[in-house]
Amino acid sequence: MALTLYVDTARWRAHQKSVIEQFPGLVPVCKGNGYGFGHERLAEEVTRFGSDILAVGTTYEAARIKDWFSGDLLVLTPFRRGEEPVPLPDRVIRSVSSVDGVHALVGARVVIECMSSMKRHGVKESELAQLHAAIEDVRLEGFALHLPLDRTDGSDAVEEVIAWMDRLRSARLPLHTMFVSHLKADELARLQQQFPQTRFRARIGTRLWLGDHEATEYRGAVLDVTQVSKGDRFGYRQQKVASDGWLVVVAGGTSHGVGLEAPKALHGMMPRAKGVARAGLATVNRNLAPFVWAGKQRWFAEPPHMQVSILFVPSDATEPKVGEELVAHLRHTTTQFDRLVDR
C-alpha cells in the first residue's frame, strides 16, 4: 500500500497543449523533483509534444536526464568558476550571469542572464561593453531575463524587457533570441510584435505541469486503524488521546515530503491572522495533516513518521477501513510518491 499520485492523463495533456499554444517556442522546465512527476516522466512528455529543448535546474540534473531526452538541455543555474565538473554532451547549454563566466566557457554554448528586478543574478548594464570581446569565444544562444512573479509597485513586465532590449541593442549585442520567465501570453505577444527580429522563448514549468489542479491527485492508503478511548496513551511519546475515535495509519511520511512546508509571503490581515492561529495550535501539538477523510482535513495524532503518518479521526466520523485511500493535499515540488497511476 502506497502514497499514490493519480494523473488524469487526458486532462493533463490537454492543459499542456493549451499552454504550448499560448506560448509559441515554449521552453519546458524540468527541475527539482520534476514538479512531482519525476524527471523521466517529464522527459517523456516533452519528447511526446516535440520540444527541441528542455530546461533543467543543475548540471547534475542534466547528467541524469540526458539519456531520457535527446534534444538540447538548458541548465538554469549559472556557471561559476571552480564548480565541480560534470561530464555533459555538447547539446547542453549553460546559463552564465557574469562576464568572467563567459570568459571561462570558451567554445561552450551559453545563454547570458541579465540582471532583472529580481536582483538575483545576471550581468549589469555597466558590464555590457565588456561582453563584446567575451562572446567571440563562445557560442551565444541568446540572452535571458528571469522576472518576478508579483509586481507590487505597479511596474510593467513588458517595459522591463523592452528596457533590456534597448540596452543590449545600444551595446551592439546580438538579439536573435531572448529567453524569458514569468510573462503572460499577451505580454509575450506584445514583445514579439515590437521586436519581430528576435525570437522570444518563455521558460515555463509550474504553469505547464501544474496549471490544472484537477488533473492530479495524491492519495494515501490506510494501513491500520486502531480504536481508542479518551485518555488512552499512544505513539512514540505516549501522549493521551483527547477524545474517543480512531488512530489511522496512512501511507505517506517525511520521506515522501509529508509535513514539509515552505515559508510563505503573507499579504493582508486575514492570512496573517490564520498564520498566527496555526502557530498557536502547533505549540499545543495540534497540527493539521494534509489528509482528508469524510470531507474534512484531519489532524496529525503525532508528527509524521518516515513512511507513514498517524491521524486522529474522532468518533463522530465514519471509521476508515484498511485499504481505503485518503486524499492528500500535498505540494508537488516537495512530494515523492511511491507510485504514479495514469487514469
45-55 pLDDT, tens digit each: 999 999 999 99
What is the pLDDT, as a whole number, of residue 12?
98
Q: What residues pair up with 142 in beta bridges, in sequence order?
A: 111
* Matching residue, cell 469524510: 294
Q: Where are the alpha helices (DSSP H) in 246-291?
A: 269-282
Please give the grid coordinates belonging to residue 41: 516522466
Give the Cα separation of 59 and 46 in Å (integer).
19
142-192 confidence digits (pLDDT tens): 999 999 999 988 899 999 999 999 999 999 999 999 999 999 999 999 999
Residue 264 pLDDT > 90: no
Which pLDDT score is estimated for 260?
A: 79
**CA gap 148, 165 in Å, rounded:** 17
Compute the distance between CA of residue 171 and CA of residue 163 in angstroms, rounded to an integer: 12
Please check the confidence at residue 39 and state whether its pLDDT lies above 90. Answer: yes
pLDDT band at 287 (very low <50, low <70, confident <90, very high): confident
CA separation for the pair 130, 93 (Å, rounded): 21
213-342 has the same fold as 8-210:
no
Q: In whole angstroms, what is the distance from residue 55 CA to residue 41 CA?
A: 14
DSSP result, 37-91: T-HHHHHHHHHHHT-SEEEESSHHHHHHHTTT--SEEEE-SPP-TTPPP----TT
How much of the chain is in helix, strand and coil states, percent to nearest 5? 30, 30, 40
The superfamily (CATH) of domain 213-342 is Lyase, Ornithine Decarboxylase; Chain A, domain 1 (2.40.37.10)
Residue 142 near residue 179, CB atoms below 8 Å: yes
Judge whether residue 267 has pLDDT over 80: no
Domain residues of the chain, as ranges? 8-210, 213-342
Residue 179: φ, ψ to 5°:
-90, 135
CA neighbor of 93 nearest in space, from 67, 136, 127, 62? 62
Share of the chain above pLDDT 90, in %: 88
Task: Report pLDDT for 155.
Answer: 92
Instruction: Report whether CATH 3.30.70.360 matches the domain 8-210.
Output: no
d(CA 270, CA 168): 44
Please tell me the distance from the alpha carbon of residue 57 to that of residue 325, in angstroms, as a whole number.
33
Phi-psi region of 338 (alpha: psi -120 to 50; beta: other; left: phi over 0): alpha
pLDDT at 333 over 80: yes
CA-based nearest residue to 11, from 294, 209, 154, 247: 209
Q: Which three cell numbers stand for residue 160?
A: 522591463
Confidence of residue 265 (pLDDT cuts 50, 70, 90): low
Q: Which of 9-18, 100-109, 232-241 has the lowest mean pLDDT?
A: 232-241
What are the pLDDT digits (tens) for 198-220?
999 999 999 999 999 999 999 99
* pLDDT for 140 beyond 60: yes
Q: What local confidence, expressed as pLDDT, does residue 261 receive? A: 72
More confident residue, 287 or 290: 290
Decide if pLDDT at 273 tops 60. no
